[in-house]
């Protein structure tokens, strides 16, 4: 998060990325990415969102806040993360040179900690001592429980009971860290339902509670703020690749659930038009509605949980059920900035199936000694498809957003040795 530049992009939302250094074409609308984004919440939450927006605007201008954020990223979370040349995978695929951005090496096992440190500092600044969060795969819940332990805050995490089943280990980790985990039994019992329940808690306890939302979703200022807290990934990756190769990559690949790790690694490259940005959605186990979480392949513009973006829904506007082997991608809407990057043609969005992700997970484990999270394995799967089609002079960066320890149970169910 850098005060000087983090201001520019969001205030020119609506203009094509290439024009951002020049005159913005469209008048600045805070919280809008083209027509996407906004703030669609019950009136009770409006004052809290405005308070949060103001607090964040003040915090990012405050050097002490930025210094503390960066100090914790370094000393607590373990930044910078390495950019690793995956030599054996590169050789095996026989095309582009592959680099892995190792967000999986961060404390708590995924990129989520970047945002949690930022928002916990903000909550403390606002005098809110109770923190709530939703979690899908459990990585954001664990990261939230971790920063709450660090700052001595009360922590309640909402999690769908289906996700609690498939991410049992993370449930225990959260409890170990002192958080209360509340199971959510409605709807598909996954991430979407956990967000509904967290919003109901927030609307009830809004005066004392900060909602530490875990992705670039929800009402303004969340998509902008969460993106800013994850920009560090792309800032590091850009410097690292320039140092290692003396030039920019041909492509950057990341998985996209809500889209926080993807926007984090994409953001610094948006202005570099020659760098392809590729987001990988969950293709699940089939093409029909309910069998996947590929919002750009079957979804359309709509409003869910505070923001206007691409949503998987039926003709009547009811939100569809989704499926993915990875709980972190199993969500019917995508962050509004991704919707805008998609419509602008600045980023390309594809999908990988459950099976492709599982295969990719195994391949990375065997070729490079890295067990990625099943979410990140979707990005690896796209790299496996794409790298062989590319020239040997091309460079690809894949964001390994998290590690696979949490997925051992699912991997055991799905892989037979």
Partner 1 sequence: MAIVFKKRPGLVAYITCGDPSLDISREVALAAIRAGADVIELGVPFSDPVADGPVIQRASERALQHGTNLNGVLEVAKQIRQQSNTGLVIFSYLNPILQFGLEKFCAAAAEAGVDGSLVTDLPVEEAGEYLRAMKAHKLAPVFLAAPTSPEKRLREVAKHSRGFVYAISRTGITGTRQELAGDARSLVERLRLHTKLPIAVGFGVSTPEQFAEVGSFADAAVVGSAIVQRIEENLGREAAAVSEFLSSLTGTAQEAVGRS
Binding of residue 44 to partner 1 (CB under 8 A) = yes
Based on the shown chain and the rule CB under 8 A, indicate whether residue 302 belongs to the binding site for partner 1. Answer: yes
Min. distance of Cβ 299 from partner 1 in angstroms? 12
Q: Which of 112, 276, 363, 406 is catalytic?
A: 112
281 catalytically annotated: no
Nearer to partner 1, 42 or 369 (CB): 42
Q: Does the annotation count 401 as an active-site position?
A: yes
Among 13, 48, 89, 374, binds partner 1 (CB under 8 A): 48
Which of 11, 40, 297, 365 touches partner 1 (CB under 8 A)?
Answer: 40
By CB under 8 A, name the one of 117, 256, 319, 397 that touches partner 1.
319
Task: Show the 3-state SS of the chain.
Answer: CCHHHHHHHHHCCCCCHHHCCCCCCCCCCCCEECCEECCCCCHHHHHHHHHHHHHHHHHHCCHHHHHHHHHHHHHHHCCCCCEEECHHHHHHHCCCEEEEEEHHHCHHHECHHHHHHHHHHHHHHCCCCEEEEEECCCHHHHHHHHHHHHHCCEEEEEEEHHHHHHCHHHHHHHHHCCCEEEEECCCCCCHHHHHHHHHHHHHHHCCCEEECCCCCCCCCCHHHHHHHHHCHHHHHHHHHHHHHHCCCCCEEEEECCCCHHHHHHHHHHCCCCCCEEEEEEEEECCCCCCCCECCCCCCEEEEECCEEEEECECCCCCECCCCCCCHHHCCCECCHHHHHHHHHCCEEEEEEEHHHHHHHHHHHHHHHCCCECHHHHHHHHHHHHHHHHCCCCCEEEEEECEEHHHHHHHHHHHCCC
Catalytic one of 53, 103, 134, 291: 134
Judged by CB under 8 A, the residue of 126, 149, 169, 303 near partner 1 is: 303
- CB 40 within 8 Å of CB 233: no
Q: Does 127 bind partner 1 (CB under 8 A)?
A: no
207 binds partner 1 (CB under 8 A): yes
Q: How far apart are CA 112 and CA 128, in angstroms?
A: 21
Output the CA angle 378-382-387, nearest 5 degrees. 145
Q: What track of x and - describes contact with partner 1 for positions 144 through 183 (by CB under 8 A)?
A: ----------------------------------------
**Contact pattern for partner 1 over residues 258 through 297, marking x by CB under 8 A:** ----------------------------------------
Is the Cβ of residue 87 or residue 314 nearer to partner 1 in the bound state? Answer: 314
Q: How far is the CB of 261 from partner 1 (least distance, A)?
A: 24
Q: How far is the CB of 118 from partner 1 (least distance, A)?
A: 24
Q: Which range of residues in 19-27, 299-307, 336-344, 383-391 is near partner 1 by CB under 8 A?
A: 299-307
Written as six digits, the tokens of 332 are: 């019917």
Per-residue mark of binding to partner 1, 184-203 (x: CB under 8 A): --xx----x---x--xx--x
- Per rule CB under 8 A, is residue 38 in the interface with partner 1? yes
Cβ atoms of 261 and 399 within 8 Å: the answer is yes
74 makes contact with partner 1 (CB under 8 A): no
Is residue 43 among the annotated active site residues?
Answer: no
Q: Which of 313, 322, 324, 326 binds partner 1 (CB under 8 A)?
A: 313
The reply to whether 305 sits near partner 1 by the rule CB under 8 A is: yes
Q: Which is nearer to partner 1, 22 or 207 (CB)?
A: 207
Measured from the CB of residue 212, what is the shortest distance to partner 1 in angstroms?
17
Q: Is 43 in the site for partner 1 (CB under 8 A)?
A: yes
Rounded CA-CA distance 100/236 in Å is 12
Provide the annotated active-site residues: 112, 134, 401
Residue ranges binding partner 1 (CB under 8 A): 38-48, 186-187, 192, 196, 199-200, 203-207, 301-306, 311, 313, 315-319
């Amino acid at each position: 998060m850098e005060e000087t530049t983090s201001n520019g992009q969001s205030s020119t939302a609506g203009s094509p990325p290439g024009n951002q250094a020049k005159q913005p074409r469209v008048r600045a609308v805070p919280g809008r990415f083209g027509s996407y984004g906004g703030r669609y919440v019950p009136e009770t939450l409006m004052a809290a969102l405005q308070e949060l927006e103001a607090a964040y605007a003040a915090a990012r201008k405050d050097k002490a806040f930025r210094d503390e954020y960066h100090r914790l990223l370094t000393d607590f979370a373990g930044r910078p993360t390495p950019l690793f040349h995956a030599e054996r995978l590169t050789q095996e695929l026989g095309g582009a040179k592959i680099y892995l951005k190792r967000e999986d090496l961060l404390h708590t096992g995924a990129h989520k900690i970047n945002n949690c440190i930022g928002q916990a500092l903000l909550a403390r600044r606002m005098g809110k001592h109770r923190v709530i969060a939703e979690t899908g795969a459990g990585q954001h819940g664990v990261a939230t429980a971790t920063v709450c332990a660090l700052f001595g805050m009360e922590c309640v995490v909402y999690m769908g009971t289906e996700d609690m089943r498939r991410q049992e280990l993370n449930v225990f980790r959260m409890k170990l860290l002192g958080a209360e985990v509340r199971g959510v039994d409605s709807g598909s019992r996954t991430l979407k339902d956990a967000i509904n329940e967290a919003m109901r808690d927030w609307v009830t306890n809004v005066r004392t509670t900060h909602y530490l939302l875990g992705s670039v979703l929800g009402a303004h200022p969340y998509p902008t703020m969460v993106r800013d807290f994850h920009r560090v990934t792309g800032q590091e990756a850009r410097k690292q690749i320039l140092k290692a190769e003396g030039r920019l990559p041909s492509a950057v690949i990341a998985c996209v659930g809500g889209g926080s790790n993807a926007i984090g690694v994409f953001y610094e490259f948006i202005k570099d038009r020659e760098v392809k940005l590729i987001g990988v959605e969950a293709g699940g186990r089939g093409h029909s509605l309910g069998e996947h979480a590929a919002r750009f392949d079957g979804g359309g513009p709509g409003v869910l949980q505070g923001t206007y973006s691409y949503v998987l829904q039926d003709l009547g506007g009811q939100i569809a059920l989704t499926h993915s082997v990875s709980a972190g991608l199993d969500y019917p809407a995508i962050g509004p900035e991704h919707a805008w990057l998609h419509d602008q043609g600045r980023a390309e969005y594809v999908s990988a199936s459950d099976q492709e992700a599982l295969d990719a997970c195994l391949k990375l484990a065997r070729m490079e000694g890295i067990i990625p999270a099943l979410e990140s394995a979707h990005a690896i799967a796209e790299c496996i498809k794409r790298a062989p089609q590319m020239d040997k002079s091309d460079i690809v960066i894949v964001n390994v957003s998290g590690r696979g320890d949490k997925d051992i149970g699912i991997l055991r169910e799905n892989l037979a040795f």
